[in-house]
Structure 1
Amino acid sequence: MFARQFRVKSNTAIKGSDRRKLKADVSAAFPSLTADELCELIPNKEELNVVKIYAHKGDAVTLYVLHKNPLFFELEKRLYPTVYVLWRHPALLPTFRTWPPVLEKLIGGADLMLPGVVAPSGGLPNVKRGDCCSVTLVNNRAPVAVGNAASSSEEMLSAGMKGRGVCVLHAYMDHLWAFGDKSGPPSFPDAEGEGQEANGEDYEVDDTQEEAERCEEEEEEQLSSEKVKDQPCCGSEALSLAVQEEQRADEEEEADQEDQKMPQETMDALLLQCFLHALKRKVKKSELPLLTSTFLRNHMFSCCPSGKQLDIKKSSYKKLSKFLQAMQKQHNLIRVKELTKGVESIVEVDWNNKELRYFKVVEETNGDAAAAAQDGGEAEPPYHPPEITTLYSVSARLEPLFLDANKRKGTILQPAEVRHIVTEYVKKNELVDENNKNYVTVDPTLCDCLLEKSEYQEVQSLKWDDLFGRALGKMAECYEVVFPGHAPVRKKGHMEPIDVSVASRGSNKKVTLIKNLDAYGLDPAAVGAALQRRVQASSVLQPVPGSKDKVVVQIQGNQIHQVGRLLTDYYQIPRKYIQGLDKAPKSGKKSQWIKMMGSSEMSFRSQRRSSLNQHSP
């Protein structure tokens, strides 16, 4: 799983409640650990980080890191120890032994095959299919790999020790190991392994490799071929390769650290630039107090230069609140206060601050272009909304009315064509009222086609607009969609709008759901990413129940207002094709502030009046 480089999504310090939960989960997963050993692995006062990563195959993995060393990784809600933990507690998991040359295969991403397993005198460890287990080398009990048992011990023996033994997830010298301090395994003498060598009777390299090559998957063979030569490796060759790999990993880590410093420093500078630009050109005194989230979303993002993307998580501050605190304490530019519990606002700006006064705004910065870059991204092709035309199909009831125009049942017409055909029918049959030309006399054909049974004896004439409206209303509705560069597509029914709604999840948390984006040629993943950058909230794609290829975009919080702005302003979708924008939350923060200030003013005045009444003669 970690044979290739993974991508780090986030790196945050663990909360106290999450630390306690992690302790409970580790204790439940590995009951052999004592209370002291558990406290040593997960100390109460030392900083422990939670790192969320994506493996090269797209698997979401959570790492728990202490002193820069990953201790555990969580995959599909199951905890696994890393080699750094197993070197401190080698007996934590059931263990399978193998020969040193096989380690190179494991590093490359291959699984441990049963012909390469060295069975101890006491027999194989008692495991079931899927149990977490470790892999050690002959003559050293220090584990070098972690994985799941591919089958139970009984199944391994009944299969004649052929096939897959351990599905390896993590191994010494892979990228997860390189994420730590890159220390080597300690030396734990193995009494049973003494005297055994790789070229002895108990192990044949050629047989093991041939069996492994027959059972390994194509991808594992490709991964292993990058690190292992075709011919068998003896112990000294394996050690040489290990040293070379460790040196190469050290060089890559140093290069990665240098690369990580530059984007962080660059993002800090961009953050400060957008902050000063927003204060100097965007924020007005009348807007104060201003919610910090509104300041970021409406002012700072719009000040981002074209071609760049503002992402606080990639800066050294990680959070907006920490950045604003730094601007308050170090630069004395603003004053931030919590007006309501849990909600911070900028209540004061020092407009005379030298740093703000001497800041020069780069004139080539284009707010609209920056917003577009934030929302859509430069790499994406420009989106053009489809042209949607409402059409009407001739129904069986209206067929007599369209016979003169040679339009049969099922013929699709535009509204203008329908009006023209009906007008020609009226003129041909001289049905225009002579006394009032705004009315049309109803003949038997119009009566059968347009009137209800209850109106047969009552309605003698119709207005032109009523005539056209009834004709369109009795026809089957269709629509035509034309995407730029594609042939027109006609479908029955009406065009379903983009549905934007708010739902509640666990603990009454609000999420915004966006459906039917694909009908308008929009990529749900691109829309979700654009919203995630705009509102700084996580978004996910969920499949629509009962549909194979349709998905729903889900984003945290009530973001209907931002969704509406993105769809109408950036993607140019007509508002009539978006459903649910009227449910956007009303901006009540300012009115609440005014009401609070008004109540305090009234209280002060009442106290003042009572004081004057007491001192009056």
Structure 2
Amino acid sequence: MFARPFRVKSNTAIKGSDRRKLKAEISAAFPSLSAVQLSELIPNKEELNVVKIYVHKGDSVTLYVLHKNPLFFEVEKRLYPTVYVLWRYPALLPTFRTWPPVLQKLIGGADLMLPGVVVPSGGLPDVKWGDYCSVTLVNNRAPVAIGTAAVSTKEMHSLGMKGRGVCVLHAYMDNLWAFGDKSGPPSLPDAEGEGQEVNGEEYESDEVEEEEVEKCVEEKEKEEEEEEENTQGEKVTDQACSGVEELRLAEQEEERVNEEEEANPDDQKMPQETMDALLLQCFLHALKSKVKKSELPLLTSTFLRIHMFSCCPSGKQLDIKKSSYKKLSKFLQAMQKQHHLVRVKELTKGVESIVEVDWKNQALRYFKVPEETDGEAASLKEGGEGELPYHPPEITTLYSVSARLEPLFLDAKKRKGTILQPAEVRDIVTEYVKDNELVDENNKNYVTINPTLCDCLLEKSEYQEVESLKWDDLFSRALARMQECYEVVFPGHAPVRKKGHIEPIEISVASRGSNKKVTLIKNLDVYGLDPAVVATALQRRVQASSVLQPIPGSKDKVLVQIQGNQIHQVGNLLLDHYQIPRKYIQGLEKAPKAGKKK
């Protein structure tokens, strides 16, 4: 329920009468709580807030918050405790145990499937359908999720421990947990943790854990597929023909990807544990040998691109998305809260910076910097003073088959949405003309227009007038009626394809107080340029101050602002040093003319 961010509608302090009513409801819902425990949860003289929110599905949920921590949430007039309450009273609800890797699935919104349940020696707790349940991990009694029983204990056994076990509503690390102080679960020793049984079989090795997690995920996916088939069964017949064709194209694409992976085994996905270890190594390496105290505060994006990437060992590729953290902000948050290595602060709205580093931290002090190879040292030297060598991306214009032109490409088995190179478009159109014998017999430079070409390439006013087109006109009309796309390939990275035109680097001049001129540079990140590095390079060239500012309406994007009309110097830096093609730079014509004051 809280896997995605929610919207807060209101936040008010609870009234005295409502506080007493809430205590009575909690006592009725959880009779095992004593009067003392109830008073600890809902104290009489401390401020308790009622927060009304809307989750991403549109459902209205009420939160009861004490000391900034949500204690209970109410859905459809039923109260549920949060993990913050369960950590104080872990025996409050019947508990089901599972393996640690399953937690990531629960955080993402998945339910607990029965193949992933670890059966204790005393058997499963006795529950009925809809009863409150909590979920714990092996070797720790601190609950990590709360939900309701999908079936009764008796049905769980009769189903052979297959299917859905617990419908999870809230889990540790989800957005409801993040609404509080973001503390971690306490370590509560679990006597049942050793020698557990998996669906009645004794647990002996890590291999069993991996197999059970895979079974749990497979069971969940199978159930979702069955539900989807039931709801969409009536549509299958109508879409059979197109579905077969799309499946064939998908299989061809999968074969191509597999071939590329076999040809480049180093580019295949790394396990999360391996990527986490590489991320930590590059982080410690960067702090110990790259970052200087004088550089603080340091933008987190600059720290990643300039320092951490340069510390990645040769032959390996650092990719945060392939780690368990998924985002740089979450990784740095872990380094701050769990290891106390750095302190991260949002100095500018939406832009985080590292403001402090604990240089005396033991993990940092005892970290041994890997030896740098000659090749790595040389490449760093080429880039300048602490700057990585920059290689401009290869940008290719592509075209996507539109609905209007689909009949022209059907013979080549290219359906709507297929992305093609311009040369491929020319070849397919040429092949179509030749197969249908449309080349004008009297003049080979012209192509006769048949009904398909008429519908695809001509305007309505031309239907009765135009009977033939020149080859060049034919190709240009075909490309003009397709959806333009582009592909960006950075050295050592997979190609990135997007629809529309690639955004150019925008250079503009604006006036600030007292009619002072400043130069603004946007969209540097689209071309793999770090705004902080470009700002520093410009500052050295023109001896003027530069700052980074967030771009209104965009998240985690910044522009470079430098004093004066510096378009000429910006142009030289982008064209000569970074070798960005002129056609991808907008605003160079606004440079001051020779002899005029900037």
> Larger Cα Rg: Structure 1 or Structure 2?
1
TM-score, length-normalised on structure 2?
A: 0.39
Q: What TM-score, normalized by structure 1, do the two folds share?
A: 0.37
